[in-house]
Structure 1
Amino acid sequence: MMQYPSIDPVALSIGPLQLHWYGLMYVFAFLAGWLLGRWRASRSWSTWTAEMVDEFVTWAMLGVILGARLGYVLFYDLSAYVADPVEIIRVWNGGMSFHGGLVGVVTASWLWGRRNGRSLLDILDFVAPLVPTGLFFGRIGNFINAELWGKVTDSPLGMIFPGAGPLPRHPSQLYEAGLEGVLTFVILWIYSSRPRPRGAVAGLFGVLYAVSRITVEFFRVPDAQLGYLFAGWVTMGQILCLPLLAAGLWLIWRAYRPGAKA
């Protein structure tokens, strides 16, 4: 069994002000995405400039934060937020949905693309390899908050999480950080290191994320307020991944079909 490294969720306190690690993870995520985006923009094959990346990141930040929070409220715990609407703005307590954030960033990309004359698929192809770094930091934030832990296990990887009882559990946050974050980043970064057919990079991201999330959900305890939705094992996260998986497969097929536009 591994020892859970109990970390104070508050990184820094200055009087009544508190800086939470969960919030810092979002800062690290956007900083990493911005720096990697600027590096991609500097490549000879890129049609982006550093200034375009700077402007887009601002739009993406708003899209991700608003979408992720509203997505969690709508998909996972609507009744609780209706009872206490102020809780919606307490993002440091956790409660961000990847799928809501995805809708938010796609919407922001579409609006920014209309403003700047860029194709939505071209934007998503450029942005997709940057997203796994954000997923990595987000899952580390979940781990520090000791939330979204896994099922009870006798595996050597098991940990006893605060508030999760006396039995060791899968550190599912770390599984997701490894699959959705590190592995997905490596594959996408290598794949996108040279020009690919339009939509292929975005499609590959959709497939990799959906497969990773669906897999880890088998080791993770579902949200208490929802539980399993079907057959004693299907979770909300898995259901929300199915449209993403289908969209990713369709984009890859579309990109590589005969006569596809490069």
Structure 2
Amino acid sequence: MNIVVLVKQVPDTGAERTLSEADHTLDRESADPVLDEINERAAEEALTLKETVGADVTVVSMGPDSALDAVRKVLAMGADRGIHISDDRLRGADVVTTARVLAAAVRTVDDVDLVLAGDATTDGQAGAVPAAVADLLRLPPLTHARELTVDAGRVRVERETESGETTLDAPLPALVSVTEKINEPRYPSFKGIMAAKKKPVRTVGLDDLFPDADTAGHLVTRTRVVEAVPRPARAAGIRVTDDGSAGRRLAEYLIAQKLV
């Protein structure tokens, strides 16, 4: 069984995040880069399947040179090989471009049975890349999985969203995106960290993935932030002292705000 897990390096979720003044994109130099925590859970699920049903795990990440650290961490956790997509032309790539590039990288892996990803990265929170990758690869998308099983050439997930819980089942190959509830990622062991240094990682760019494409008209960022302003400070609330008229005053306030 061949599994590809998609991961991303993001600014530390515990640090304050800011936007660059030049183009209003996320300033990735203002916080330490880390492997996205939900993608880490996708990697853990891939490694669990490797241990239980037997699998070969390839980790794929798109990002600058520093993103190689994210690939190496998953290799230290137990993945077998990595693909690092690095190209200056991908800076600020939107959802469509990101999905097309990731899908192209997945196609370079032979006989893929399962693609795993986090349901949304913590920097952009678009939540659309996994489904877009599945569409481009013509794979059934099983998204928002909190539990996953593979058996007899099929994958089955328990899906949880704000609207309810659903059981999804599809034949392999397929793509599954996972939520933070699916597992607790392992820590890389010292042995794993040392072994990761010897595992193969292939670095590719747009010219490798799309040798015949017109990158000027095909692989571009289709959206642009024209303005960004700080969130306004929270205003002080209104305190109502109950002198017997608090209920009426509260009702009047709710009506004035068109909340009732």
TM over 0.5, shorter chain: no
Higher strand share: 2
> Larger helix proportion, structure 1 or 2?
1
Q: Could you tell me the TM-score, scaled by structure 2's length?
A: 0.27
Q: Which has the higher contact order (CA 8 A, sep 6+)?
A: 2
Determine which structure has more spread, i.e. the larger CA radius of gyration.
2
TM-score calculated relative to the size of structure 1? 0.26
